[in-house]
Chains A and B, each alone.
Chain A
Amino acid sequence: MNWKNAFSTSIGKKILVGGTGLFLILFLVVHCYVNAMIFWPDEPGETGKHFTEAAAFMGGNVAIRIMEIGLFAGLIIHIVQGLLLWSQNSKRRPVRYEVSAGNNTSRWYSRSMGLLGTLILLFLILHLYHFWAPNRYGQAFDAAWREEDLYEKMVKVFSQMWVVVVYVLGCVSLAWHLMHGFFSAFQTFGLTTHRYKATIKSVGVAFSILIPLIFAAMPVYLHFIGSSGH
């Protein structure tokens, strides 16, 4: 079986979605770690120094910038392949059931990955528009290779209440998406054997709650507490 065929079977497509999903999970860890620097208490006279240093390192590092291309490629494959699977699968039952099993046999979030993913995508567009795009634009087109002050930008963006609400909802969608996605990715690679199944499930639940919770705390913190000095 050649490589093209290997990834075009139903399991091959799953491997693409699951594999990119695992990669995105790793990205979330790094992203969360760097951004959580905003919670590091400042010395007198400093504002968000630790975060700014970490962000400058990430923004200026060549290796990280190259990995960013991989990140976008992974993201696009995950989205396109995921949505394709969703639309193809929805056509496999042309006549719907009159009475559906609903939550008796499966979890709502497992059945709603397409919807949850779409919500995350909408949030992501806003998120990239807020932080990523202006920063890269400044780096690319500003003669002085201007790096945005991302801490200041966060404080400014999160001073708007509607933005905080949208970000928290984005994190909630992410949490439910991960609640299925984390275990599902391991299952796709066949790693959920009898020996590891329970561990992967528990770690998945903990991860799905913890990471989005830390992310959601950022806009909330900056809106209500952290920005009070500005």
Chain B
Amino acid sequence: MQHYNMNLTLKVWRQRSNKVKGHFESFQVKNISSEMSFLEMFDVLNEQLVAEGKDPIAFDHDCREGICGMCSMYINGRAHGPWTQNTTCQLHMREYKDGDTIVVEPWRAESFPVIRDLVVDRSAFDRIIGAGGYVSVNTGNAVDANSLPIEKQKADEAFAAASCIGCGACVAACPNASAMLFVSAKIAHLALLPQGEPERKNRAVNMIQQMDTEGFGSCTNIGACEAECPKGISLENIARLNREYVGAIFSGSNNG
């Protein structure tokens, strides 16, 4: 594809902290290369702001290769922008043309309070993982992998679920701000494997209770999460989570 430069208008959410109200601020950026990533375009804008003596825009990023789950922008109404199965850092400016206006917002959810500008606090996810998203192995060496045979299909499904990077796009995209896709991916990943089996029921119940405590909305099977997930996590994981939950309540988990 032919390389080209463009001038853009950006409408970006600015908010000093979760204590004060935010607002949109418009910026002009010039000579943006179509080869740049979306975050590099923000780097250019921030350099421009620093040179003008203004506050740069705070945004989350880390690996910039689509695997860490840190970047989190809601771009023109789409979590991680318009490309499917893609993170913001992997969105490239060739998507846009000269003169475009782009509206950039943070993930918006009660459970993801804004820290500053486009940075939100996603530690609610960490607390959900802390409630049971692990395998308790306290002693001993790692056993030989071949001593634990795992069906190929289950291994594949578990791997697909494990590819969730915990970015929170599912919450951002869901009209109910529900975290079910994230929680279902974590529960499915462990429920499918023999290592996760012993704690399976408690894990489902505890993680779901923590999810509710954090104030995420309820899943109503709308499916926007699946459409926006950068890792293609399937709604089938939510069906599995529901099965895990029904199984846990009817057989009785240890907590009551």
Contact = CB atoms under 8 A, between A and B. Distances in A.
A1 B177 contact: no
A13 B208 CA distance: 12
A131 B94 CA distance: 62
B242 A110 contact: no
A106 B108 contact: no
Nearest to B13: A98
A89 interface: yes
Given A1-B205, A104-B77, A93 B109 contact: yes
Interface in B197-256: 205, 208-209, 211-212, 215-224, 227-228, 235-236, 238-246, 248-249, 252-253, 255-256
Contact of A105 (B227, B236, B240, B249): B227
A189 B217 contact: no
B173 interface: yes
B57 to A, nearest CB: 16
A95 B256 contact: no
Interface string B99-119: 000010100111100000000
A111 B222 contact: yes
Most buried by A among B108, B208, B220: B220
B74 interface: yes
A151 B92 CA distance: 66
A9 to B, nearest CB: 6
A92 B171 CA distance: 10
A61 interface: no
A144 to B, nearest CB: 48
Interface of B is mostly: mixed
A107 B226 CA distance: 13
A180 interface: yes
Contact of B238 (A12, A105, A187): A187
A13 to B, nearest CB: 6
B194 interface: no
A111 B221 CA distance: 9
Contact of A190 (B22, B111, B209, B239): B239
A100 interface: yes
B236 A14 contact: no
Interface stretch (A169-177, A191-199, A217-225): A191-199
A228 interface: no
A196 to B, nearest CB: 10
A111 B217 CA distance: 14
A187 B77 contact: no
Interface of B: 11, 13, 22, 24, 74, 76-79, 103, 105, 108-111, 173, 175-178, 180, 205, 208-209, 211-212, 215-224, 227-228, 235-236, 238-246, 248-249, 252-253, 255-256
19 contacts: A1-B252, A1-B253, A5-B256, A9-B208, A12-B249, A89-B175, A89-B176, A89-B177, A92-B216, A93-B109, A95-B108, A97-B74, A98-B103, A105-B223, A106-B222, A187-B242, A189-B243, A190-B240, A192-B236
List 6 tightest A-B contacts by C-beta distance, closest first: A190-B243, A99-B77, A92-B217, A89-B176, A92-B177, A190-B242
